[in-house]
Chain A
Amino acid sequence: MLRIIDLLKRINNGVAIAAGLVLLACVLLILIDILLREFGISFGGSEEISGYVMASVSSWGVCYALTEKAHVRIDVIRNKGKEAARSIFDLVALAATSYVAVFAAYHVIPVVEKTLKRNSLANTSLETPLIIPQAIWMAGWIWFAVTSCVLLVCALVLVIKQKHSQVNDMIGTETE
């Protein structure tokens, strides 16, 4: 059980570094764009590409934030409870997250299908085939659904086994 969680965490750490590097590349692109503009050359693609970068970084990043317990939760009432009660709160929160993640992934897929069917190009000078950024973005949402559901199953098993401190390590909140 812990091996699965560990694996998820390691994959998502890799995702975060990759997303960070993409952001750096995007910074570089924007800087080049600013420079070229001063020399009167218009490239103008950085704006469009930073949009794609943002979409992908956020859909993949939410997975990392999930395994890092970084999503904001109001834990005032949760922290009043004992260990077991806290685990129940954590389970409810994670179940809600998984529900939204699966629902979102389910509705994200048709968007990409339509793009694929119509061979849509972006309405810009770059004429980017939209399938490239959208496929990366969609994969992030699907991975979010997978990550949250796997975590939910693991958490359920741990709660049944009464291993509350492990539940807290995995999906609790950072308490001061």
Chain B
Amino acid sequence: MLPFTFFGLLGFLALSIPVGIVLFLLAFGIDAFFSPFPLMRGLGQILWSSSNHSTLIAIPLFVLIGEILLRSGVAQKTYSALNAWVSWLPGGLIHANIATATMFSATSGSSVATAATVATVATPQAEKLGYDQRLFTGSIAAGGTLGILIPPSINLIVYGFLTESSIPKLFLAGIVPGISMALMFMIVTVIICSLWPRLGGPKQHSTWKEKIVALKSLLPVLLLLFSIVGSIYVGWATPTEAAAVGVLISFILAMAYKACSKKMLMDSLAGTVRITSMIMMVVLGAYVLNFALTAAGVGRTLQMLLEGLGLSALATLLIIVAMYIVLGFFIETLSLMVATIPIVVPIIVQLGYDKIWFGILMIILVEMALITPPVGLNLYVVNSARKNGKISDVVVGSLPYVGVMILMIILLIAYPSISLYLPTNF
């Protein structure tokens, strides 16, 4: 059954069948070939109970926030403000890319949206100021991946939904690793640009007066950030309800910037439904496959297989990490997560690892998948924001940041408290 699932997954994906549909097909296959009793008779009920779920409403709402911010000019203002604060460092604007990506990660739940937003506002600057395109674009692709690690995060919501873990705890667990990774991205940039100044661009010095004035443009994003995070931790709202608060605030911001029009509203709504349904197709497929695998007893099969290998918990974990890195070359984020959660998370729990901790580890692994070719959505998103240029520029420019992610994975395995300190103490 496991080889069937594994090779079926790769084979169907290679045929370019939509990811969500592939998961359904695998579930049908398991039902037909491996299950002693018919499973799919309950398909309708599974589809109803998995989509009639109030937690999931957070997905469209966070997508909507991103759509509104992008269309209302908040993104551009934030970028120029952060530019005034961080571009004196060796590497110049590259730091503004990372800082803006980090800030938007805290309001958006998606990496691709974050990368797209930053790329749209940043790329014209790079061409004007004569930056080396590689590191510049790479920093946007990598910085954008933080979108799913720093809360709120659609991927963490889906992880929590599929593994039945607490979403506020997952959000808390993502904060420290997310911010440390952003800082490490900046440190690596400083090191590279000090050694090879050609790779960066002109440093930009702003006066204190300019910096103070710039702070004003940061207010909208900060307001949004605090209203989302604040309403969760003050206890007014659940993470789902906080997303609704965020939608309200972003509408108010768009109105304050006089960017609210009927067309803008319709475009945002259609965009939201498109992205949400694309995600839901994959989530529903994963849910059905999850059900089929569990009912057909895959947990026991796997456990026996692993016991047979006689590996230590750490060795098994490392094999799983290696598997994600390899799969990450070919499959993108959410698909990779939902396709593997039903198989991998039960093993991890059985090995005695923490579900919340593994959620964060998995997020960093799929972040890496976003910027590793041939299938790395962020690479393409960032590259398509430029007028011309080869995709290989972005790939090469992302490499240093892939290094940072690997370092972060090692740190997380060695010191789980990096992610677990906040959720266990607050």
Q: With contacts A47-B54, A93-B18, A107-B44 known, is A74 near B274, CB below 8 A?
A: no
Neighbouring B residues of A134 by C-beta, 8 Å: 48
Q: How far is the CB of A146 from chain B (nearest CB, A)?
A: 16
Most buried by A among B43, B54, B331, B334: B54
Q: Is the CB of A104 within 8 A of B277?
A: no
Q: When chains A and B are docked, how far (Å) is the Cα of A173 from the Cα of B332?
A: 15
Q: With contacts A54-B51, A54-B54, A137-B48 known, is A20 near B16, CB below 8 A?
A: no
Which residues from 1 to 57 on chain B have a C-beta closer than 8 Å to any C-beta of chain A?
Answer: 12-22, 24-25, 28, 40-45, 47-48, 51-54, 56-57
User: Which of B25, B40, B248, B274 contacts A65, CB < 8 Å?
Assistant: B274
- Selected interface stretch from B91-99, B194-202, B265-273: B265-273
Q: A-B contact count, CB below 8 Å?
A: 202
Asked if A5 is at the interface of the complex by the 8 Å CB criterion, the answer is no
Q: When chains A and B are docked, how far (Å) is the Cα of A52 from the Cα of B53?
A: 7
- Selected interface stretch from B162-170, B172-180, B239-247, B318-326: B239-247
Asked if A108 is at the interface of the complex by the 8 Å CB criterion, the answer is yes
Q: Is the CB of B16 within 8 A of A77?
A: yes
Q: When chains A and B are docked, how far (Å) is the Cα of A103 from the Cα of B151?
A: 37
Asked if A13 is at the interface of the complex by the 8 Å CB criterion, the answer is yes
Neighbouring A residues of B40 by C-beta, 8 Å: 103, 107
Q: How far is the CB of B173 from chain A (nearest CB, A)?
A: 24
Asked if B328 is at the interface of the complex by the 8 Å CB criterion, the answer is no
Which residues from 93 to 124 on chain A have a C-beta closer than 8 Å to any C-beta of chain B?
Answer: 93, 96-97, 99-100, 103-104, 107-111
Q: Is the CB of B270 within 8 A of A176?
A: no
Q: When chains A and B are docked, how far (Å) is the Cα of A99 from the Cα of B247?
A: 37
Q: Is the CB of A89 within 8 A of B16?
A: yes
- Selected interface stretch from B81-89, B278-286, B351-359: B278-286
Q: When chains A and B are docked, how far (Å) is the Cα of A72 from the Cα of B20?
A: 8
Asked if A126 is at the interface of the complex by the 8 Å CB criterion, the answer is no
User: What DSSP secondary structure best describes chain A's contact surface?
Assistant: helix
Number of interface residues of B (CB under 8 A): 66
Task: Give the size category of A's interface with B.
Answer: 35 or more
Q: When chains A and B are docked, how far (Å) is the Cα of A21 from the Cα of B233?
A: 29
Neighbouring B residues of A100 by C-beta, 8 Å: 21, 24-25, 28
Q: How far is the CB of A84 from chain B (nearest CB, A)?
A: 15
Closest-by-CB residue of B relative to A76 is B374
Q: When chains A and B are docked, how far (Å) is the Cα of A84 from the Cα of B398?
A: 35
Asked if A48 is at the interface of the complex by the 8 Å CB criterion, the answer is yes
User: Which of B28, B237, B269 contacts A24, CB < 8 Å?
Assistant: B269
Q: With contacts A27-B61, A104-B47 known, is A74 near B384, CB below 8 A?
A: no
Q: Is the CB of A108 within 8 A of B44?
A: yes
Q: Is the CB of A23 within 8 A of B60?
A: yes
Flag B366-390 by CB within 8 Å of A: 1 or 0 each: 0000000011000010011000000
Q: Is the CB of B277 within 8 A of A64?
A: yes
Q: When chains A and B are docked, how far (Å) is the Cα of A75 from the Cα of B42?
A: 32
Closest-by-CB residue of B relative to A175 is B380
Given contacts A30-B240, A109-B44, 12 further A-B contacts (CB under 8 A): A23-B273, A31-B248, A47-B54, A57-B276, A65-B281, A71-B278, A73-B16, A78-B16, A92-B15, A100-B21, A100-B25, A137-B52
Q: Top 5 nearest A-B pairs by Cβ distance?
A: A20-B269, A61-B277, A58-B280, A111-B44, A71-B18
Residues of chain A having any CB pair with chain B under 8 Å: 13, 16-17, 19-21, 23-24, 26-27, 30-31, 33-34, 37-38, 46-48, 50-55, 57-59, 61-62, 64-65, 68, 70-78, 89-90, 92-93, 96-97, 99-100, 103-104, 107-111, 133-134, 137, 141, 173, 176
